[in-house]
Amino acid sequence: MLEAHGVNKSVGSGRAARRVLAGVDIEVAAGELVAVLGRSGSGKSTLLHLLGALDRPDGGEIIVGGERLTGRSERSLARIRLRLIGFVFQSFQLVAECSGEENVLLPTRLPGAPRGGATRARELIAELGLGPVADHSPHELSGGEQQRFAIARALVNDPVLVLADEPTGNLDTAAAGDVLRLLREMTGRGRAVVMVTHEPEIAAAADRVLEMADGRLA
């Protein structure tokens, strides 16, 4: 589902330039949960943004679901993100003015979204036990509920790849356990999941752990 080979990325320019990723290679199969473990500032989130077509590498190749990301137009990348990739963020990124259900529905209303989004949204909300609070605003929800709505939104267009950036960072132990269980369940439906974290105990829930150090994965 995911292949990345020789991925390089630098930030800054001139004497202030700093290489964040130096020839990163990663492959993730369908049904696999892979954790990328590393300290803050090690380049984990940068890698996730590149894998999700939110940023472009300086060099290397990235392929998601058979679609090559490198060399594509912004419009083409937006279409790939919409159909093939789901994002789960530490800070949830829910729109404050929308209810939980409306947040889940947002990706289904974008041009080019797969048909049947409203049905999938209702099914996901029910499956995640969010029906009783579907009409609540984000500020009325617990951290665990907000993250479950964020997960439903990430899944609503049925992506092949789910990218999770510190998905348990703002949650208590019980809610974090629920989120890890949900990430595991995603792989049972043939998706590939990549999770970045700085917590070894969270990474231990993955099928495979890759450690980020000196801009490379090991």
| pLDDT tens, residue by residue, 188-202 | 888 999 999 999 999
What pLDDT, on the 0 to 100 scale, is given for residue 40?
A: 83
pLDDT tens per residue across span 21-41:
999 999 999 999 999 999 888
**pTM of this structure:** 0.93
Token output for 152: 């439903």
DSSP secondary-structure letter at 197?
Answer: E
Amino acid identity of residue 67, one-letter, is E
- Is the Cβ–Cβ distance between 161 and 191 less than 8 Å? yes
Task: Give the single-character DSSP code of 114.
Answer: P
Binned at pLDDT 50, 70 and 90, residue 215 comes out as: confident
In this prediction, residue 56 has a pLDDT band, given cuts at 50, 70 and 90, of very high
Domain 2-93+159-217: what homologous superfamily? Answer: P-loop containing nucleotide triphosphate hydrolases (3.40.50.300)
What residues are paired with 3 via a beta bridge? 27, 63
Give the three-class secondary structure for 3: strand
Side-chain-side CA neighbours of 214 within 13 Å: the count stands at: 1
Higher pLDDT, 102 or 169: 102
Query: In the chain, where are the structural domains located?
Result: 2-93+159-217
b/e burial code for range 168-203 (CB count within 10 A of at least 16 → b): bebbeeebbebbbebbeebbeeebbbbbbbbeeebb
| Mean of pLDDT values over 98-127 | 94
Q: What does pLDDT average to over the chain?
A: 93
